Amino acid sequence: MPIYPFDDKAPRAGARVFIAPSADVIGDVELGDDVDLPSVTSTQRQAVLGPVLVGRY
Protein backbone atom coordinates (compact mmCIF):
# COMPACT_ATOMS: atom_id res chain seq x y z
CA MET A 1 0.00 0.00 0.00
CA PRO A 2 1.26 3.52 -0.73
CA ILE A 3 1.17 4.73 2.89
CA TYR A 4 3.85 6.84 4.53
CA PRO A 5 4.46 8.23 8.03
CA PHE A 6 4.89 11.98 8.61
CA ASP A 7 5.96 13.72 11.82
CA ASP A 8 6.02 10.39 13.70
CA LYS A 9 2.40 9.68 12.73
CA ALA A 10 1.56 6.83 10.38
CA PRO A 11 -1.73 6.05 8.61
CA ARG A 12 -3.90 3.29 10.08
CA ALA A 13 -6.16 1.08 7.98
CA GLY A 14 -9.18 -1.03 8.97
CA ALA A 15 -10.34 -4.26 7.36
CA ARG A 16 -10.99 -4.60 3.63
CA VAL A 17 -9.29 -1.32 2.63
CA PHE A 18 -8.23 -0.70 -0.98
CA ILE A 19 -5.76 2.07 -1.83
CA ALA A 20 -4.98 2.54 -5.52
CA PRO A 21 -1.25 2.31 -6.31
CA SER A 22 -1.36 5.88 -7.64
CA ALA A 23 -2.87 7.29 -4.40
CA ASP A 24 -0.71 8.30 -1.42
CA VAL A 25 -1.89 8.28 2.19
CA ILE A 26 0.45 10.30 4.40
CA GLY A 27 0.53 11.11 8.10
CA ASP A 28 -2.25 11.10 10.68
CA VAL A 29 -4.95 9.31 8.66
CA GLU A 30 -7.34 6.61 9.83
CA LEU A 31 -9.14 4.53 7.20
CA GLY A 32 -12.19 2.70 8.51
CA ASP A 33 -13.40 -0.72 7.39
CA ASP A 34 -14.55 -1.19 3.77
CA VAL A 35 -12.86 1.98 2.48
CA ASP A 36 -11.96 2.32 -1.21
CA LEU A 37 -9.47 5.04 -2.25
CA PRO A 38 -9.38 4.93 -6.04
CA SER A 39 -6.89 6.80 -8.15
CA VAL A 40 -7.82 10.47 -8.05
CA THR A 41 -6.27 13.04 -10.36
CA SER A 42 -5.66 16.68 -9.43
CA THR A 43 -7.09 16.24 -5.94
CA GLN A 44 -5.33 16.71 -2.65
CA ARG A 45 -6.79 16.25 0.81
CA GLN A 46 -4.85 17.90 3.59
CA ALA A 47 -5.46 18.24 7.31
CA VAL A 48 -3.42 20.64 9.35
CA LEU A 49 -5.24 20.33 12.67
CA GLY A 50 -6.13 16.85 13.82
CA PRO A 51 -6.43 13.53 12.05
CA VAL A 52 -8.20 12.68 8.80
CA LEU A 53 -10.93 10.06 9.27
CA VAL A 54 -12.25 8.17 6.26
CA GLY A 55 -15.13 5.71 6.55
CA ARG A 56 -18.12 5.27 8.89
CA TYR A 57 -17.46 7.15 12.13
pLDDT tens profile 18-49: 988 888 888 888 888 888 888 665 455 555 55
Range of the domain at 13: 1-40
> What pLDDT sits at residue 16?
92
Is residue 57 situated within a structural domain?
no
> What pLDDT sits at residue 21?
87
Highest mean pLDDT among 10-14, 22-26, 34-38, 52-56: 10-14
pTM above 0.85, yes or no: no
Q: How many domains does the chain have?
A: 1
Under 8 Å between Cβ of 43 and 23 = no
Is residue 53 situated within a structural domain?
no
Is residue 35 situated within a structural domain?
yes
Is residue 54 situated within a structural domain?
no
Q: Which residues contact 49 (CB under 8 A, 6 or more apart)?
A: none
**Whole-angstrom Cα distance, residue 37 to residue 19?**
5
Is residue 36 situated within a structural domain?
yes
